[in-house]
Amino acid sequence: MNGLDRVVEYIRTDTDKECIEISRISSEECEQLKADYLSLEQERYWKAINEGTKAAEQRLESLSALAATEAKKQYTLMQQELLDEAFACAAGIIKGLTDEEFSILLRKVGSPPGISADELVEQYKEKLSRTVMSMLFD
């Protein structure tokens, strides 16, 4: 091997070493970039999951409150219907009483004598409704 061949071989060996080092550094940088992007993607993923979960929980809370309000409304409407039916029943019974029975009723509810059945019904509508409801459901 002559001097020129040795120089070329030295340059080739040195160049090969440099290429290997550049390749190694590039691979490391590439792996680091992949890891960084994967980490960023994971952060985005979990952020989206957490935000979606929070939004779903808030929606559930809102719908639960709405459902409770609607249930209470329906319950109140049903109570009112029952009171109306009970009042109509009581009013029918009161209007069908004899004069003597009506006088006894007036004394029991503390109303002045001389009041008509219609006046009594109007004056004591709420009280009569409660009394009838109590009789029906106790």
The two tokens of residue 132 are: 């009838």
Q: Convert the pLDDT of each residue in 59-117 to its tens digit.
A: 999 999 999 989 988 887 887 788 778 777 878 888 888 888 888 888 887 878 788 87
Confidence band (pLDDT; 50, 70, 90) for 133? low
**Are 86 and 129 a contacting pair, CB within 8 Å?**
yes
- Cβ–Cβ < 8 Å for 48, 89: no
Domain of residue 68 covers 3-137
User: How many domains is the chain built from?
Assistant: 1
> CA–CA distance from 13 to each of 9, 17, 27 (Å)?
6, 6, 21
Q: Is the pTM of this model over 0.75?
A: no
pLDDT at 1 exceeding the cut of 70: no
> For the chain, how many residues are written?
138
Mean residue pLDDT across the chain: 84
